[in-house]
Amino acid sequence: MKKRKLIFATANENKLSEVGKILSDDYELLSLKDIGVTEEIPETKSTLEGNALQKAKFVHDKFKMDCFSEDTGLEIAALNNAPGVFSARYAGEDKSDVNNIALVLKNLTGVQLREARFRTVICLIESGVQFLFEGMIEGKITETAAGSAGFGYDPIFIPSGHSQTFAEMGFEEKIKISHRSRAFEQLFKYLQRVEV
């Protein structure tokens, strides 16, 4: 059977490789690089939903092809759900995984309440129609970073019911339960239903 091509409107290689591994063999994932998009796609909205829609719409308007995007944020209760939609650039001009993590830990110094969640919102544009899917995982922010697998805030997030950070548990364990996997489960369920 011919594989269905899906364009993933992301510039983040870590997201691409995670999704590539959870995608069934029925699909071929195309990245922005694969379709020749090299410019940075604007992300100027104030919600994950808004940014996901903005990224998918940018690619759809340009190429008139079905595509999806996702926006992910770490929402920390004691910080009024920050960094949230600003997760990628929490440390401002000095943004990097290391600096973003350092700022979170600094802002949580002395704070006992460390509840947090990762939330992923996917926007699919199919035949010009927009669909949103969401996945979430709850957990806690550690006192110090631990582990070297994964990316982003993985070294400081312990999912509820576990004792290791995402970065300590490693890829295989992370994708069994992650916010991203849960959101993509919803997307794949939808795509399969449409194809029947």
Please report how close the Cβ of residue 78 comes to ligand ITT at its closest, in angstroms. 18
Please report how close the Cβ of residue 193 comes to ligand ITT at its closest, in angstroms. 25
What are 66's two structure tokens? Answer: 């079905």
For the question of residue 71 being annotated catalytic, the response is: yes
Query: Which residue type does 28 have?
Result: E
168 binds ligand ITT (CB under 6 A): no
DSSP assignment of the chain equals: -PPEEEEE----HHHHHHHHHHS-TTEEEE-TTTTT--SPPP---SSHHHHHHHHHHHHHHHH---EEEEEEEEEEGGGTTEEGGGGGGTTGGG-SHHHHHHHHHHHTTT----EEEEEEEEEEEETTEEEEEEEEEEEEE-SS---SSSSTTGGGEEETT-SS-HHHH-HHHHHHH-HHHHHHHHHHHHHHHHH-
Contact with ligand ITT (CB under 6 A) among 135, 139, 152, 159: 152
107 binds ligand ITT (CB under 6 A): no
Please report how close the Cβ of residue 40 comes to ligand ITT at its closest, in angstroms. 8
| Residue whose C-beta lies closest to ligand ITT | 152
- Cα distance between residue 90 and residue 103, in whole Å: 8
Using the contact rule CB under 6 A, the part of the chain among 8-16, 108-116, 132-140, 183-191 near ligand ITT is 8-16
Contact with ligand ITT (CB under 6 A) among 117, 119, 140, 180: 180
60 binds ligand ITT (CB under 6 A): no
75 binds ligand ITT (CB under 6 A): no
87 binds ligand ITT (CB under 6 A): yes
71 binds ligand ITT (CB under 6 A): yes
Measured CA distances, 62 to 58, 67, 122, 135 (Å): 6, 11, 19, 28
Catalytic residue, candidates 26, 71, 97, 154? 71
Please report how close the Cβ of residue 109 comes to ligand ITT at its closest, in angstroms. 21
Residues annotated catalytic, as ranges: 71
Q: Which residues bind ligand ITT (CB under 6 A)?
A: 10-12, 15, 43, 55, 71-72, 87-88, 97, 150-154, 166, 178, 180
